[in-house]
């Protein structure tokens, strides 16, 4: 046998034994939830967002927003004539609030 073969034959088992004993001395880091399949307590399950959306409420808000939006062209034509309907700004604010709420519900 050559010297390299002899060194490889005797050193490799020693290296593997050292690695195995080092693994037993140091604790393993905890596995991530993605690898173990266990959900984190702070992360909701994937199905949770659709479960908490109130579709009836969204439909009601969409209808209200649509009704308000249909009145805006008439209000703007009155503004063009020099008249400012007193509730126009309130309607626009309400449309904006409804829109933000609906967007937040659909895209958490």
| pLDDT reported for residue 107 | 87
CA distance 36 to 53: 29
| pLDDT reported for residue 54 | 86
CB-CB neighbours of 51 under 10 Å: 8
* pTM summary value: 0.51
| pLDDT reported for residue 75 | 94
75 and 92 Cβ atoms separated by less than 8 Å: no
Residues 6+ apart with CB under 8 A from 101: 61
- Please name the residue that has the structure tokens 């409804």: 98
Confidence check: pLDDT of 21 > 70: no
CA distance 73 to 70: 7
Tokens standing for 100?
Answer: 């933000």
- Please name the residue that has the structure tokens 């050193």: 11
pLDDT confidence bin for 97, thresholds 50/70/90: very high
Q: Which tens digits make up the pLDDT trace of 48-81?
A: 555 578 899 999 999 999 999 999 999 999 999 9
Distance (Å) of CA 38 to CA 32, 41, 69, 72: 8, 9, 47, 51
């Amino acid at each position: 046998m050559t010297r390299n073969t002899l060194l490889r034959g005797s050193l490799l088992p020693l290296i593997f034994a050292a690695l195995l004993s080092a693994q037993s001395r140091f604790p393993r880091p905890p596995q991530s939830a993605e690898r173990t399949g266990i959900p984190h307590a702070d992360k909701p399950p994937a199905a949770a967002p659709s479960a908490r959306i109130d579709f009836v409420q969204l439909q009601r808000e969409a209808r209200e927003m649509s009704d308000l939006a249909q009145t805006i062209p008439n209000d703007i034509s009155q503004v063009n004539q020099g008249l400012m309907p007193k509730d126009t700004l309130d309607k626009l604010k309400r449309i904006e609030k409804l829109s933000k709420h609906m967007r937040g519900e659909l895209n958490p």
